[in-house]
Structure 1
Amino acid sequence: MKRILHILSSPRTTGSASRKLGHATISKIIDKYPGSLVEELDLAIQPVPHLEKLHIDAFFTAEDLRSPAQRDAVTYSDAWIAALQTADIIVVEAPMYNFTIPSTLKAFFDHLARVGITFRYTGNGLLPEGLLKNKQAYIVTSSGGIYSTGELKQYDFATPLVHFFLTLIGMEVVAVFRAEGQAIVGQEAALESGLASISIK
């Protein structure tokens, strides 16, 4: 049994290839780990607050020194970091919108990046060390073009961003599943290719 956190970010609540591919990924994980518990966060239905000065000030204020407003401001971040800390597997749906990820997903990541909680600076001038270790992550994406190979690969600012962020906070990204080329082969064919690629490690 595994604890799975499923993050959906497509603004399209129906007809979304990334959602279909994401749910299929969850099903495959449950097939491999029967009885697993799934917690779902749908950023199209449960919008994430974009960072404001109040959030940032609260993040960098010691817990016992926070004002009531600051304590309230960190509740969203604290709750979803706690969900990540208890999860074994994370599935992040990150469809490509204008060559990058939906703004809601970026805003969500901003609430997860907490120094001393999800990462720490090492003082050696290198990248920070991630603190959310021993967790597997799967990235699910969709796009109109083909960005995994070929001339457009350099313009994929979606999957590399998600991969980098999850790695930065300590997770192991084990696979990326893509429903790509929808504008070329059609959504159904792109989705079928993505579904066929699902392999749970």
Structure 2
Amino acid sequence: MTTLLHLDASARLTRSLSRQMTRQFVTAWTAARPGDRVIHRDLGREPPPAISEAWIAAAFTPEDKRTPAQRDALSLSDAMIDELELADLIVLGTPMYNYGMPTALKGWIDQVVRIGKTFTFDLARGDYPLEPIMRGKTLVVLSSRGEFGFLPGGPRAAMNHLDDHLRTVSHYLGVTGSHFISTEYQEFGGARHAASIARAEADVSALVERLLASSGAGEDGNPHAPTPPLLAAASR
């Protein structure tokens, strides 16, 4: 059985293109593999709080020495890390806000990328002391953008701090294979936007088929099989 962690980060609870794409992906996946498990966390509806000085102190206190208040401060982080640990496939829907990620998604990342839980720290490793604990997960990022040209070689590629940030931090989420699909032109509307949505929908369908094939047919497929190379889809 494969476990999907379905995350939605859009503050827009209706008429959200990123939510539309995650629904399409999860619906297609569960239609093909109804026995698989889906864990849904709506970050846009219930944004995780920003980490605080008390949270940091609790995270860096050994578990057996934490006070009840410190354990309470980490309770949401613990719950979200438990969800992440169970996941074989992370399906993340997120808009691009101000060329980066929404506050709710940054809050989730700060809550789950945590010393002793998702990474270890050892100065004996030299200049690269951080090492991820989790391995073998696949990340699917389904995003929407108001402008256009954010893919490599595009006129706004250097302004795309959403995809680059997610690629960088995904190492500490246990991710070993990533796929990015996006819609663009939302602020412009018109034929270009409609075409971008149609391309993204087709790419989502194709990606589901590819990942299902790579995980094996039927309920007994191996969710940890190697995933295909990066798919950077939508407006090209």
TM-score normalised per structure 2 = 0.79
Question: Where does the alignment leave 5 or more consecutive residues of structure 2 unmatched?
Answer: 212-236
Counterparts of 1:86-97 in structure 2, within 5 Å, are 86-97=86-97
Question: Where does the alignment leave 5 or more consecutive residues of structure 1 unmatched?
Answer: none
Q: Which residue does the alignment assign to 2:185?
A: 181
What is the alpha-carbon root mean square deviation over aligned residues?
1.7
Q: Could you tell me which amino acid in structure 1 is paired with residue 160 of structure 2?
A: D
Q: Distance in 2 between matches of 1:182 and 1:93?
A: 16
Larger radius of gyration: 2
Q: Which residue does the alignment assign to 1:129?
A: 131
Q: CA shift at 1:32, angstroms?
A: 4.2
Q: CA shift at 1:128, angstroms?
A: 2.4
- How many residue pairs match? The answer is 201
Q: Secondary structure at the match of 1:174?
A: strand
Q: Distance in 1 between matches of 2:151 and 2:185?
A: 10
Q: Distance in 2 between matches of 1:78 and 1:192?
A: 38
Kept in 1: contact 2:10–2:94 (CA 8 A): yes
Kept in 2: contact 1:133–1:170 (CA 8 A): yes
Kept in 1: contact 2:132–2:171 (CA 8 A): yes
Among 146, 157, 162, the residue aligned to 2:161: 157
Q: Distance in 1 between matches of 2:129 and 2:175?
A: 14
Counterparts of 1:57-136 in structure 2, within 5 Å, are 57-122=57-122, 123-126=125-128, 128-136=130-138
Q: Secondary structure at the match of 1:194?
A: helix
Kept in 1: contact 2:113–2:172 (CA 8 A): no
Q: Secondary structure at the match of 1:129?
A: strand
Kept in 2: contact 1:7–1:42 (CA 8 A): yes
Q: Could you tell me which amino acid in structure 1 is paired with residue 195 of structure 2?
A: A
Q: CA shift at 1:127, angstroms?
A: 6.5
Q: Distance in 2 between matches of 1:89 and 1:169?
A: 11
Kept in 2: contact 1:179–1:191 (CA 8 A): yes
Kept in 2: contact 1:182–1:190 (CA 8 A): no
Q: What's the % identity of the aligned pairs?
A: 30
The superposition leaves residues 148-187 of structure 1 with CA deviations (integer Å, 9 ceiling, x where unpaired) of 1411011001111112211233212331111122234545
